[in-house]
Structure 1
Amino acid sequence: MRHQALTGFALHQRRYRERSHILHFFSLEFGRVDGVIRQTPPSLYHFATLQANGKSELKNFSQLDVQGQPFYLQQKALFAGFYLNEILLRLLPLEEAMPATYAAYILALEHLKILASDDPHDFQLKLILRQFEHTFLNELGYAVDYFQDSFGQAIQPESYYQFIPQDGFQPQITPQGFLGQDLIQMGQSTEINSANITLLAKLYRIILTELLGNKPLKSRQLWVSQQQRT
């Protein structure tokens, strides 16, 4: 990159040498871009512009400009924001534009900012996260076929299926896993709602666990620790 203008958000930053930081930046133009910045890095959830230079994977960032006010997240919304940033940091391909995910990230922050503190059963919070995961996984290439199993056969309403990442749904002899009727209804649905959000949570957990590997999510550990203290 040479004098490449980037717009987006900081995903994570850490100290580097005496006066610099390594900044992981989620940009509209090139997706995740990593670089060294010698200014105070932008805070999380704060829209910023900067300039990137360099041919290596670690660019030189300069001319940082933060704009407006950051998305101020409170309580449960703050932990959800940590989760979004962590899965983006770990799963985004380096320097590959992800425009749908970028738009979904901004929308998620907008919704988290106004998340009601008395959200019954955390439905709105779960909805925000599932909607983001849906867009992110689809753009990563992990769209799910709800109408055919891994052998190319039509999903049967009365049958049960196990989901295998990279392969799809496989028929089960025992009544375990996902009911075919629920999968068909999910495929026919045009939006995420109260009827399918539990199914999606279970399904996306399987996919994300496969993608993330054995290293646990720190944001999830923080969430569990917070719940145990309250």
Structure 2
Amino acid sequence: MAAPSHRINHEPAFLLTATPWRESSLWLEIFSRRYGRVAVLARSARKRQSELRGVLVPFVPISASWYGTQELKTLHRAEWLGGWRQPQERALFSGLYVNELVYKLTAREDPHPQLYDAMVEVMQAIAVEPNHVAALRRFEWALLSELGLAPDLQQDEHGVPVDAAAMYWMRPQAQALRFDQASGLAATEAGGVAVSGACLHELHSGVFSSGGNMQQALQLTRMLLDFYLPEGIKSRQVLQQLQNFQTA
């Protein structure tokens, strides 16, 4: 029986990171639809005459072909698929933020096709929608849910359906707890956030009716992401520094 070729052809993917490797190559981390995050070596990609120079760009999908049996594969070919323009100005930070979350929270070669589809949606929104905050919240929740890091938003820790009119206390690695049941616990300690049941319903559906609920959703996703990424999120820190500089 012939040995498998270990060659992947024309796989849709996003470029997450690109690091110089030796004299003229690039070490890439890509997130592909069927194979998850993959490390690939793009040989001679930094040479001026390389066909890859205008193809290996972030925030828009590419078609990647690679081969190899080791953890670091070799890029055989890449083509720009496009579909939308690259984000501009401040929207760049949103694209960097999405890439950083996927890079830091996913494991290599762990497929998540639904997460890839969510990435397509959020990257397109970042590129074409001036206000893409809701798209970011939907993506954050899709990411946390797909990786098994998100609590159930439809019922509390007692198995009771979430009441849109009630307030809930949310903590990492715990189900929603009605706020009026949390007073006797150490639930109001640092690290938790209070959100409305309406916010939980809207975060689950991905459709927000008010800026207040969207702000609560931000507090919830930020609390969870900070818990799972204690080293911090660099793209968020850089944007905050830029905002502080502009308002100083």
**2-side partners of 1:207 and 1:228: how far apart?**
24
- The count of residues paired between Structure 1 and Structure 2 equals 220
**1-side partners of 2:101 and 2:233: how far apart?**
8
Matched, 1:197 2:214: yes
- TM-score, normalisation: structure 2: 0.77
How far does the alpha carbon of each residue in 1:13-36 deviate from its partner, in whole angstroms, 9 at most, with x for none? 101111211100111121111121
Mapping of 1:201-212 within 5 angstroms?
201-212=218-229
- TM-score, normalisation: structure 1: 0.83
Matched, 1:9 2:14: yes
Please report how far the alpha carbon of residue 57 of structure 1 lies from its aligned counterpart in structure 2 after TM superposition.
1.7
Q: Which residue of 2 aligns with 1:30?
A: 35
Q: Give the gaps of 5 or more residues in structure 1.
A: 117-123
How far does the alpha carbon of each residue in 1:134-154 deviate from its partner, in whole angstroms, 9 at most, with x for none? 211111123432344335456
Mapping of 1:28-177 within 5 angstroms?
28-40=33-45, 42-68=56-82, 71-116=85-130, 124-152=131-159, 161-170=168-177, 171-173=181-183, 177=193
Please report how far the alpha carbon of residue 185 of structure 1 lies from its aligned counterpart in structure 2 after TM superposition.
5.8
Q: Which residue of 2 aligns with 1:228?
A: 244
How far does the alpha carbon of each residue in 1:145-195 deviate from its partner, in whole angstroms, 9 at most, with x for none? 23443354565778754322222234421796425xx22563376332143
**1-side partners of 2:199 and 2:16: how far apart?**
35
1:113–1:23 Cα change, 3 Å? same
Moved more, 7-16 or 47-56: 47-56
**2-side partners of 1:137 and 1:96: how far apart?**
15
**2-side partners of 1:109 and 1:159: how far apart?**
34
**2-side partners of 1:125 and 1:49: how far apart?**
26
- Secondary structure of the residue aligned to 2:220 is helix
The one-letter code matched in structure 1 to 2:183 is: I
Please report how far the alpha carbon of residue 228 of structure 1 lies from its aligned counterpart in structure 2 after TM superposition.
2.0
- Secondary structure of the residue aligned to 1:62 is strand
Asked whether the equivalents of residues 28 and 40 of structure 2 are also in contact (C-alpha less than 8 Å), the reply is yes
Asked whether the equivalents of residues 84 and 128 of structure 2 are also in contact (C-alpha less than 8 Å), the reply is no
Moved more, 92-101 or 202-211: 92-101
Asked whether the equivalents of residues 160 and 173 of structure 1 are also in contact (C-alpha less than 8 Å), the reply is no
**Aligned residues: percent identity?**
26
Mapping of 1:176-187 within 5 angstroms?
177-178=193-194, 182-183=196-197, 186-187=200-201
**2-side partners of 1:204 and 1:194: how far apart?**
18
Q: Give the gaps of 5 or more residues in structure 2.
A: 46-51
